[in-house]
């Protein structure tokens, strides 16, 4: 199945600013071949994440929910030569494919893959004293987004950034329909009320909630 971009505005932005190279196209076809769900970010969202990472001069990134590594490769490409990418993924099938994607992209040098439930992995990251971190991208189970936000508030440096995917839930965020929709609405409210962050939602793709750690 070829990934279709439903929103013509996303297509317009992607065509101009976010053309996929051979590696990104390979990741999507390989994900498809391995029956991974077609739920990665879009090219224009990947480009936006790169710009945000560069804008704050991020040298370390924590991704919660990696799938086949598509968003990870977009983001890791914005890191400097001594950058670090911590990839948190529950399913070993996904983690293995993401490792392959980073290798294929020539990005194996920055990758630390941490398999298991993200809440456990985040606690380990804190305990290992690897933080504070510069950039946290949340894109895993929606019901835990608010917990991931709490961790980001505790573990981002001042001026660091949190970005959370699917903030608009295909438009359903204003009339939540599922447990996940409701969890996302709760997350957006929590972020808006969180005094530790300056925040908003960037309405590109499926909506990127972003917050700068004060
Ligand atoms: N960021 C990816 C898409 C992630 S899809 C991209 O844009 O390319 C969501 C991923 O989160 C899936 O791979 C799923 O296995 C993982 N996930 C779901 N719940 C999780 C949890 N509790 N801990 C870690 N990973 C989880
Ligand atoms: Mg997502």
Span 56-83, pLDDT tens digits: 999 999 999 999 999 999 999 999 999 9
pLDDT band at 6 (very low <50, low <70, confident <90, very high): confident
Residue 2 has pLDDT above 50, yes or no: no
For the Cβ of 87 lying below 6 angstroms from any atom of ligand 1, the answer is no
User: Ligand 1, atom 3: nearest CA belongs to which residue?
Assistant: 40
User: Ligand 1, atom 16: nearest CA belongs to which residue?
Assistant: 65
C-alpha separations of 214 from 150, 153, 158, 195 in Å: 14, 9, 5, 8
Span 203-213, pLDDT tens digits: 999 999 999 99
Q: Write down the pTM of the prediction.
A: 0.98
- Which ligand has the shortest distance to the CA of 208? 2
């Amino acid at each position: 199945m070829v990934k279709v971009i439903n929103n013509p505005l996303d297509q317009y932005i992607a065509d101009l600013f976010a053309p996929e190279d051979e590696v990104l196209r390979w990741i999507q076809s390989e994900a498809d071949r391995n029956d991974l769900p077609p739920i990665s970010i879009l090219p224009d969202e990947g480009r936006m994440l790169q710009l945000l990472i560069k804008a704050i001069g991020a040298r370390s990134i924590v991704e919660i929910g990696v799938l086949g590594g598509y968003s990870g490769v977009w983001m890791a490409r914005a890191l400097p030569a001594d950058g670090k990418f911590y990839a948190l993924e529950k399913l070993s099938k996904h983690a293995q494919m993401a490792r392959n994607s980073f290798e294929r992209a020539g990005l194996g040098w920055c990758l630390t893959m941490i398999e298991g439930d993200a809440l456990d992995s985040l606690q380990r990251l804190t305990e290992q004293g690897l933080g504070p971190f510069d950039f946290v991208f949340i894109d895993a189970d929606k019901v835990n987004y608010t917990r991931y936000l709490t961790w980001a508030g505790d573990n981002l440096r001042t001026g660091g950034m949190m970005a959370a995917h699917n903030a608009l839930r295909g438009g359903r965020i204003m009339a939540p329909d599922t447990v996940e929709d409701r969890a996302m609405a709760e997350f957006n409210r929590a972020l808006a009320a969180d005094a530790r962050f300056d925040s908003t939602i960037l309405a590109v793709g499926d909506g990127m909630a972003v917050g700068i750690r004060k």
